[in-house]
Every structure is written in structure tokens, then in C-alpha cells.
């Protein structure tokens, strides 16, 4: 049996002025591994689900820990199986049974899967650009295909929206933020004792230079912050084991468990709430800053501490994800300044300002408003006939 597969589309009561049209929304994913795309699906899908839409996510199992459990917790229908390719006959059958009214996808490896499902179901495609428009030389996800098969394009980063408009194609473009307030919320800072430093994000070559810099300066950190603890979250193949070996060596030298490497986690919220400072980029940094934690944004480049005065620049760089300044020399000094100012009221008020601004710009309410705008602009949005009964 296909347990949990919904076979009806309900109309739910709404407030005056809100849309009463609920849709079956199918997210297509290359695989359900824990990364930025699947995190976007989790947050955006959760917002749509809470608004009354039926949500499903389809993607192959890659043999590693993914978001399947979290998707099910949020009430998604999860369609997955081991697969050598992105698409297969089982996915075709399950997609047709789900009867999507809308398909949502990213423009990369999952896009050919979305176009395959579109041919089977006639559902329109909303393509969400979570990265700059590049890597379009692959068949089936080239610019011509993205234009031909997409019924709308979305993005939330200013630079990516500019790129989409420069393409000049006749595809509706809507700014649709990823909601930060569905699965996270602001909370008060923990006490400064046993100062917890959280390094959070995928352990790729692109995202780990700053973490290596921290570990290389651990003796300097020990002198300024004697009771520090470092927790490293994120999957990353052989790099994960490299960090575990480094942690073992550093803990042995320190004579205590000062560095923990925990690998991929499908629910990082409790680690963020326990942290005194978070080193991260992109979504991870945004979620931590909204949670009212001091954030030092870093990736292959170094942005520095996110503050109210530089929040616009931080958002535009997607919290260092698009930043190219490869100079980490100020990182340790930034960490020490946060530690020294930690209990100052001005410092904490700045954290509150950052959280409030992110809560406004990346609110679930705004995501849903943008989604309604898309459905109004897309001529192809029509319920599957069997969903209108």
C-alpha cells in the first residue's frame, strides 16, 4: 500500500482576503541528502503545508543521512527509493498517483526530473534559483530548457534576481524568500560559561577554510577563552574524517574534550540554541542570526560578524556564500570581541535588531504571499481534474 499518500484536495477556511485554493505541490530533488536545496524544500514546504496545501517531495535515496524523517514530521508525502539515475518508472508512477497541481524544482540536477514529471502530469513548473545562474551546459538544464519548461522563476537573493531579469526571457520572475521563521525562532543567549563555538555547514572544500583557521589557532583561543568548546556540524565525506582526526589530536593535546565533530544533523536547532557564537554561511548563518545568536559569516571568503549596520551587505553576499575576500586574519579577533562584549546590553540589542529584520524579510507570510503571486501570474496553474472534486 502507498501509506500516507493523499487522495483528496481539501478547501480550508481562511481569513478574509486570503486565497481558499489549496494545491498539491510536488518538490523534485536530485537526492534527499542534507544540503541547501533540500533545506529550502523543508522550510518552504513546511510553510506551504501549514497554509493548507498538500506537499510531497520526490528524490532518490543516496545511501546517506537525509531529510526524509524531517519531511515526514512536517506532514510531507515522501517519495524515494535507491536509483542510479535521477528519474525512474517508480517515481513516474508515484508522481501520477499524487496528481500534482504544481511542480517545484531547482535548475540543476533535479530539473530534468521535473520536466519528465511535467510531461506525465501536465503540471506547471516553478523553478527556484538558489545559486547564481551557471552550470547550464548540461543537456536538459541549459538556459533554453529552463525557459521552455519553466512556468515561473523565483529567487530571493538580489544578485540572482538581477541575473534572471538580464536573461530577458518571457518567464514570470517573482522574489520568493525562503522562510526562516517556520522551524526556527529567536531565543535568549545562553550564559557565557563553557563558551560554545558552533561551526555549522557542509564540510566541502569551499566552506571549510575558516574552520581550519579556527583549529590552527586553538592555542591562541585557549589563552583568551579558557573554557571554550568547539562543535562542528556537517557532512562531508573524507573531510569529515579529517576533522575527526584533527579533533582527536587537539583533544589529546588539550587534555580535555574541547572539539566535537558530529557530522550531518537533520535538525540543528538545539545546537544553535546551545551556541554562544556561530560560524556559518548561507542558510545556516541566516537561521542562526534569526535565532538571535552572534554570527560570523564565512565560506571560502570571510565576511565577518553580521551586525545591524552591515546586514544588507551580509544578505547580498548571502552571508559570505558569494563573498570572495580570502583573508581570515581577522577571524580570531572577531571571536574575541564577541566574547568580551557578550554581556553588554548594546551587543545584545544589535542581535535583536538583526533577528527582527531577518524575520521581516524572510517571513513565512511573505513566502506565501509570493507563492500566491506566482499562481496568479502563471497561466498554467489549473488543478488536476481529480483534485477539484
Residue 168 scores a pLDDT above 90: no
Residue 99 scores a pLDDT above 80: yes
pLDDT confidence of residue 6: 33
Tens of pLDDT, residues 32-42: 999 999 999 99
CA distances (Å), 194 to each of 46, 66, 198, 275, 339, in order?
34, 31, 12, 10, 11
Q: What is the mean pLDDT of residues 46-64?
A: 94
pLDDT confidence of residue 326: 77
Residue 222 scores a pLDDT above 90: yes
Return left, alpha or beta for 321; rule: phi > 0 is left, psi -120 to 50 is alpha, else beta.
Answer: alpha
Residue 182 scores a pLDDT above 90: yes
Residue 17 scores a pLDDT above 70: no
Band of the pLDDT at 385, cuts 50, 70, 90?
low
DSSP helix/strand/coil, 155: strand
The Cα–Cα gap between 36 and 207 comes to 13
CA distances (Å), 37 to each of 7, 30, 346, in order?
27, 9, 35
What residues contact 182, with CB distance under 8 A and at least 6 apart?
43, 46, 47, 50, 364
pLDDT confidence of residue 148: 93
Q: What is the mean pLDDT of residues 83-104?
A: 95
Residue 357 scores a pLDDT above 70: yes
pLDDT confidence of residue 15: 42
Q: The pTM is what?
A: 0.89
The Cα–Cα gap between 299 and 339 comes to 21
Nearest to 177 by CA among 373, 378, 361: 361
Residue 388 scores a pLDDT above 90: no
The Cα–Cα gap between 386 and 7 comes to 9
pLDDT confidence of residue 233: 95
CA angle at residue 26 from 20 to 30, to 5 degrees? 155
Residues β-bridged to residue 154: 128, 174
Q: What is the mean pLDDT of residues 187-193?
A: 96
Compare 208 and 378 and report the one with higher pLDDT: 208
Residue 276 scores a pLDDT above 70: yes
Band of the pLDDT at 169, cuts 50, 70, 90?
confident
Which ranges in 122-217 belong to alpha helices (H)? 143-149, 158-167, 209-216
Residues 140 and 150 sit within 8 Å (Cβ to Cβ): no
Q: Is the dihedral of CA 317, 320, 326, 330 positive or negative?
A: positive
The Cα–Cα gap between 216 and 228 comes to 15
Residue 49 scores a pLDDT above 90: yes
CA 151 to chain CA mean position, Å: 23
Q: What is the mean pLDDT of residues 66-80?
A: 96
Return the CA Rg of the chain: 22
Burial category of 80 from C-beta neighbours within 10 Å (exposed 0-12, middle 13-18, buried 19 and up): buried
pLDDT confidence of residue 181: 97
Tens of pLDDT, residues 109-143: 999 999 999 999 999 999 999 999 987 778 889 99
Range from 102-116, 278-292, 369-383 carrying the lowest mean pLDDT: 369-383
Nearest to 179 by CA among 283, 55, 267, 78: 283
Q: What is the mean pLDDT of residues 69-74?
A: 96
Residue 389 scores a pLDDT above 60: no
Residue 14 scores a pLDDT above 50: no
Max avg pLDDT among 5-19, 53-67, 157-171, 343-357 = 343-357
Burial category of 101 from C-beta neighbours within 10 Å (exposed 0-12, middle 13-18, buried 19 and up): buried
Which ranges in the chain belong to alpha helices (H)? 36-50, 68-73, 89-98, 111-121, 143-149, 158-167, 209-216, 218-224, 238-254, 269-274, 282-290, 311-316, 331-341, 345-361, 364-377
Tens of pLDDT, residues 279-338: 999 999 999 999 999 999 999 999 999 999 999 999 999 999 997 777 899 999 999 999
The Cα–Cα gap between 337 and 331 comes to 10
Residue 383 scores a pLDDT above 90: no
Residue 16 scores a pLDDT above 50: no
Amino acid at each position: 500500500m502507498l501509506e500516507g499518500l493523499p487522495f483528496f484536495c481539501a478547501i480550508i477556511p481562511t481569513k478574509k482576503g486570503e486565497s481558499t485554493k489549496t494545491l498539491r505541490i510536488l518538490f523534485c530533488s536530485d537526492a534527499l541528502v542534507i544540503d541547501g536545496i533540500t533545506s529550502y524544500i523543508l522550510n518552504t514546504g513546511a510553510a506551504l503545508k501549514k497554509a493548507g496545501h498538500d506537499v510531497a517531495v520526490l528524490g532518490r535515496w543516496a545511501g546517506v543521512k537525509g531529510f526524509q524523517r524531517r519531511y515526514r514530521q512536517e506532514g510531507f508525502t515522501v517519495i524515494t527509493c535507491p536509483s542510479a539515475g535521477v528519474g525512474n518508472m517508480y517515481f513516474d508512477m508515484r508522481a501520477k498517483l499524487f496528481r500534482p497541481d504544481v511542480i517545484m524544482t531547482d535548475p540543476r540536477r533535479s530539473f530534468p526530473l521535473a520536466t519528465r514529471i511535467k510531461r506525465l502530469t501536465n503540471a506547471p513548473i516553478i523553478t527556484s534559483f538558489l545559486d547564481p545562474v551557471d552550470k547550464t551546459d548540461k543537456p536538459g538544464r541549459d538556459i533554453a530548457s529552463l525557459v521552455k519548461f519553466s512556468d515561473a522563476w523565483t529567487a530571493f537573493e538580489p544578485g540572482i534576481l538581477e541575473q534572471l531579469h538580464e536573461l530577458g526571457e518571457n518567464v514570470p520572475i517573482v522574489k520568493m524568500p525562503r522562510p526562516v521563521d517556520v522551524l526556527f525562532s529567536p531565543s535568549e543567549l545562553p550564559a557565557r560559561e563553557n563558551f560554545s563555538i558552533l561551526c555549522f555547514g557542509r564540510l566541502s572544500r569551499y566552506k571549510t577554510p575558516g574552520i581550519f583557521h579556527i583549529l590552527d589557532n586553538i592555542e591562541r583561543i585557549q589563552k583568551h577563552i579558557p573554557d571554550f568548546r568547539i562543535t562542528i556540524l556537517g557532512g562531508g565525506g573524507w573531510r569529515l574524517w579529517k576533522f575527526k582526526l584533527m579533533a582527536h589530536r587537539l583533544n589529546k593535546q588539550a587534555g580535555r574534550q574541547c572539539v566535537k565533530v558530529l557530522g550531518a544533523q537533520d535538525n540543528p536547532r538545539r545546537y544553535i540554541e546551545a551556541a554562544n557564537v556561530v560560524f556559518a554561511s548561507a542558510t545556516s548563518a541566516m537561521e542562526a542570526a534569526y535565532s538571535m545568536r552572534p554570527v560570523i559569516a564565512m565560506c571560502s571568503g570571510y565576511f565577518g560578524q553580521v551586525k545591524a549596520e552591515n546586514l544588507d551587505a551580509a544578505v547580498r553576499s548571502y552571508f559570505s556564500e558569494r563573498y570572495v575576500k580570502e583573508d581570515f586574519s581577522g577571524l580570531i579577533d572577531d571571536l574575541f570581541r564577541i566574547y568580551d562584549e557578550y554581556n553588554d546590553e548594546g551587543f545584545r540589542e544589535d542581535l535583536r535588531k538583526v533577528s527582527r529584520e531577518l524575520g521581516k524579510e524572510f517571513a513565512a507570510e511573505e513566502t506565501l504571499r509570493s507563492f500566491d503571486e506566482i499562481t496568479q501570474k502563471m497561466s498554467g496553474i489549473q488543478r488536476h481534474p481529480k483534485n477539484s472534486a
